[in-house]
Amino acid sequence: KAGVTQTPRYLIKTRGQQVTLSCSPISGHRSVSWYQQTPGQGLQFLFEYFSETQRNKGNFPGRFSGRQFSNSRSEMNVSTLELGDSALYLCASSLADPGINEQYFGPGTRLTVT
């Protein structure tokens, strides 16, 4: 069974631009969560989707958004990029309820904003 895949793996953008990151969950998994990992803030929850519905959202500005498609694939978008958005963005999938069902993480997308 293929694991969680994230594309692209690396990305360099300029301040003010926008970016879209993609996550393909493990087949059969319907929940997708996104996390931001930085050296200073650690791992922070962005949002979680299940069956195309956002069930929870972390404390991030509205520039951060996401969506989930009917095949459970998910995308997150960051508009008007800031230097502080440079981070490793991790996607995780689970069968239904993250925690109750084990979360499987992808390798991440490393975003660098210059």
Partner 1 sequence: AQSVAQPEDQVNVAEGNPLTVKCTYSVSGNPYLFWYVQYPNRGLQFLLKYITGDNLVKGSYGFEAEFNKSQTSFHLKKPSALVSDSALYFCAVLMDSSYKLIFGSGTRLLVRP
Residue 100 contacts partner 1 per CB under 8 A: yes
Residue 50 contacts partner 1 per CB under 8 A: yes
**14/100 with CB nearer partner 1:** 100
Q: Which of 29, 106, 111, 113 binds partner 1 (CB under 8 A)?
A: 106
The C-alpha atoms of residue 24 and residue 4 are separated, in whole angstroms, by: 6
Q: Which of 1, 14, 42, 62 binds partner 1 (CB under 8 A)?
A: 42
Q: In Å, what is the CA distance from 46 to each residue of 1, 27, 33, 76?
A: 26, 22, 7, 9
User: Which residue from 62, 87, 92 is spatially nearest to 77, judged by alpha carbons?
Assistant: 62
Q: Which of 31, 68, 72, 74 binds partner 1 (CB under 8 A)?
A: 31
Burial (CB count <10 Å: 0-12, 13-18, 19+), residue 105? middle
Residue 60 contacts partner 1 per CB under 8 A: no
Residue 67 contacts partner 1 per CB under 8 A: no
Residue 8 contacts partner 1 per CB under 8 A: no
The C-alpha atoms of residue 70 and residue 64 are separated, in whole angstroms, by: 21
Residue 28 contacts partner 1 per CB under 8 A: no
Residue 12 contacts partner 1 per CB under 8 A: no
User: Which residue from 20, 6, 35 is spatially nearest to 108, judged by alpha carbons?
Assistant: 6
